[in-house]
Amino acid sequence: MNWKGALAVIGAAPRAVGGCIARYQALLAVLVVMVGWLVVHGQNLERDLQAKRLDTQVQYLIEAYRRLEKAAGREHGFETDEEHLQYSQEVEGAIGDIQLFGTPEQVDLAKDVVASLAGDGRHKVDLTPLLQCLRRDLRQKLLLRPVEDEPPVQLRFLRDNPREEATPPAQE
């Protein structure tokens, strides 16, 4: 081998090593991108799961609030046994939803309502603390401004003679 051939072999070695390093750099870049994508994808899945969980919780608690509010403030009792049954089932469902989706404070307040109703089931139960807690928590979760922690105002329309059957208009 002459000196020109030796220089050609020596000069080829750095090019071969440089090509190998470039391949490793490209492979490392692909691996970094893939690992980064997996990490970001996992974080997105977790974020989506948390958002879905919050949405489900909020929807159930809004419905529970509405059912409890509808049954609350009925000082004059129920006009019919069917109405009593309907509101009783509404409250039962709301209490179940609160025990499943509510905060520990809401669950404790729901237990207080159940304990109050455990007697005869027809006596007056104060739902105000539970309604206030639900309203406060829901407004916070929905990023609404807080309202005064006063009892909710309830509007109720009553018939003049709630225990009498409705009579048809007089025929002429």
Q: Where in the chain are the domains?
A: 53-141
Share the mean pLDDT of the chain: 82
Which range has the worst mean pLDDT, 1-15, 32-46, 118-132? 1-15
Q: How many residues does the chain have?
A: 172
Tell whether the model's pLDDT for residue 166 goes beyond 80.
Answer: no
Tell whether the model's pLDDT for residue 97 goes beyond 70.
Answer: yes
Tell whether the model's pLDDT for residue 93 goes beyond 70.
Answer: yes
Tell whether the model's pLDDT for residue 77 goes beyond 90.
Answer: no
Q: What's the pLDDT band for 172 if we cut at 50, 70, 90?
A: very low
Instruction: Give CA–CA dist 116/93, Å, rounded.
Output: 16
**Angle at the Cα of 61 from the Cα atoms of 58 and 67, rounded to 5 degrees:** 145
Q: Which residues have C-beta within 8 Å of that of residue 141, sequence separation ≥ 6?
A: 54, 57, 58
111 or 156: whose pLDDT is higher? 111
Q: What is the predicted pLDDT for the residue at 21?
A: 86
Q: What is the predicted pLDDT for the residue at 6?
A: 52
Tell whether the model's pLDDT for residue 130 goes beyond 60.
Answer: yes
Question: Comparing C-alpha atoms, which of 118, 168, 144, 164 is closest to residue 58?
Answer: 144
**pLDDT tens digits for range 16-72:** 556 788 888 889 999 999 999 999 999 999 999 999 999 999 999 999 999 999 888
Instruction: Give CA–CA dist 59/101, Å, rounded.
Output: 10
Torsion (CA) 9, 12, 18, 20 in degrees, nearest 10: -80
Q: What is the predicted pLDDT for the residue at 152?
A: 78
Which range has the worst mean pLDDT, 80-84, 100-104, 139-143? 80-84
Q: How far is CA 28 from CA 16, 42, 72, 87, 142, in A?
A: 18, 21, 65, 65, 44
pTM of this prediction exceeds 0.85? no
